[in-house]
Amino acid sequence: MELHIVCIPGDGIGPEIVAEAKKVLEKVAEKYGHKLDMKDVLMGGASIDAYGVPLTDETVAAAKAADAVLMGSIGGDPNTSPWYQLPPDRRPEAGLLGIRKALNLFANLRPAYLYPELAAACPLKEEISRAGFDMLIMRELTGGLYFGERRTVTENGVRRAVDTLTYDENEIRRIAVKGFEIARKRRGKVSSVDKANVLDSSRLWRAVVNEVAKDYPDVKLEHVLVDNCAMQLVKDPAQFDVILTENMFGDILSDEASMVTGSIGMLSSASLNDTKFGLYEPSHGSAPDIAGKDAANPIATVLSAAMMLRYSFDLDAEADAVEEAVRQVLKDGYRTGDIMSKGCTLVGCRQMGDLLAERI
């Protein structure tokens, strides 16, 4: 199989972690008989430095021509980088918003998995962390409160701000279909999160999700109010498989889920459109303070590449091999600085990539 992948190394530690993910993908291709076509393009601060804008038409065109995009990290230190002296629409993160829109990436997937070897880093009680958890938060990415009409006005000397939360049934249906499809690849359960006891948008959300569920009788559906879901994530995270929710709720819940894993450096993510195409990236930032020091943890990017193999190419065996390589490296006691614990062996970004590739 030919895999046409555009890589966006990005800023900060981005080029380092993408290089290690590419190393692992090359080993996968060698072992399983695939042909890799990987092309690097610029976005974010690196694009500003080269072209004066965070996202060029050429980068968008290259991404659209590929089967998938693998990205590192975007942005720098807002307190020191000259990129943040520019208008908001010219800053690095504007490139990320722009490419999501250009590629119609409406479904954001963020897995949260607690590796047994990292259970000590989990902030939850030992009896909870000992049970482990493996969930995936499916967040609608292009609608809702963040994209609704907004305004700030002054009336009779009083300032008033308005943000509008809107969804139509088509926006809800397409993310729900993605959620049920991915649940079929996992453990067959969808927890749809809303605030249907208060919000009209949530009542529509629940109604449409129920309609979609009829096409997936093999998938169990439950509805969970968002405040209860937030509590359950710290009380019993093992109960969840796929959490399906709208934009703002998903933003908050996915950050909560990331913290109970113990390290954001382990968390992958994917953003999908209505085809097999996706953009895959780690959930963490660009960490400019450690850029170029061979100190970054590439595992989240490597796991993002595994998601790419699974969801854009339907190469489940290859994705399993990458995920198993991560588990084996952790079992063997190798750690980057962010997940280091007593009795383990400290390694740098490049050596971690080598160790992962060796175990494919």
Is the same domain home to 354 and 269? Answer: yes
Among 163, 255, 289, 320, the one annotated catalytic: 255
Q: What is the CATH number of the domain that holds 144?
A: 3.40.718.10
Is the same domain home to 132 and 254? Answer: yes
| Alpha carbon distance 74, 49 (integer Å) | 13
Is the same domain home to 307 and 178? Answer: no
Q: Tell me which of 231, 260, 289 is where a domain ends.
A: 260
What's the pLDDT at 68? 98
| 8 Å CB contact between 129 and 122 | yes
Among 11, 67, 251, 338, the one annotated catalytic: 251
| Alpha carbon distance 184, 187 (integer Å) | 7
> How many domains in the chain?
2
Is the same domain home to 352 and 277? Answer: yes
What's the pLDDT at 262? 72
| 8 Å CB contact between 191 and 181 | no
What's the pLDDT at 97? 85
Whether 190 is in a domain gets the answer yes
Contacts of 260 (CB under 8 A, 6+ apart): 112, 114, 122, 123, 124, 133, 233, 234, 237
Is the same domain home to 127 and 189? Answer: yes
What's the pLDDT at 16? 97
- Class of residue 213 by CB neighbours under 10 A (exposed 0-12, middle 13-18, buried 19+): middle
pLDDT per residue of the chain (360 residues) written in tens, 0 to 9: 999 999 999 999 999 999 999 999 999 999 999 999 999 999 999 999 999 999 999 999 999 999 999 999 999 999 999 999 999 889 999 998 899 889 999 999 999 998 888 887 788 888 888 888 999 999 999 899 988 899 999 999 999 999 999 999 999 999 999 999 999 989 999 999 999 999 999 999 999 999 999 999 999 999 999 999 999 999 999 999 999 999 999 999 998 988 888 777 788 999 999 899 999 999 888 999 999 999 999 999 999 999 999 999 999 999 999 999 999 999 999 999 988 888 999 999 999 999 999 999
**The one-letter amino acid at 328:** Q
101 is catalytic: no
For 263, other C-beta atoms within 10 Å of its C-beta total: 19
Q: Tell me which of 203, 226, 260 is where a domain ends.
A: 260
Q: Tell me which of 260, 278, 302 is where a domain ends.
A: 260
Is the same domain home to 143 and 86? Answer: no
Among 146, 185, 294, 354, the one annotated catalytic: 146
Among 37, 227, 236, 332, the one annotated catalytic: 227
Whether 116 is in a domain gets the answer no
Is the same domain home to 148 and 249? Answer: yes
What's the pLDDT at 61? 97
146 is catalytic: yes
What's the pLDDT at 123? 85
Is the same domain home to 243 and 141? Answer: yes
What's the pLDDT at 56? 97
Whether 222 is in a domain gets the answer yes
What's the pLDDT at 129? 84
Is the same domain home to 222 and 272? Answer: no
Whether 26 is in a domain gets the answer yes
What's the pLDDT at 147? 86
Is the same domain home to 183 and 221? Answer: yes
Whether 340 is in a domain gets the answer yes
How far is the CA of 180 from the CAs of 4, 69, 131, 136, in angstroms? 27, 23, 25, 12
Is the same domain home to 321 and 233? Answer: no
Domain residues for the domain of 212 are: 123-260
Whether 319 is in a domain gets the answer yes
| Alpha carbon distance 128, 123 (integer Å) | 10
Whether 301 is in a domain gets the answer yes
251 is catalytic: yes
Task: Determine the Cα angle at 269 with ends 355 and 36, to 5°.
Answer: 55
Contacts of 349 (CB under 8 A, 6+ apart): 13, 16, 17, 20, 294, 295, 296, 297, 298, 336
Whether 112 is in a domain gets the answer no
Among 22, 67, 195, 334, the one annotated catalytic: 195
314 is catalytic: no
Is the same domain home to 294 and 245? Answer: no
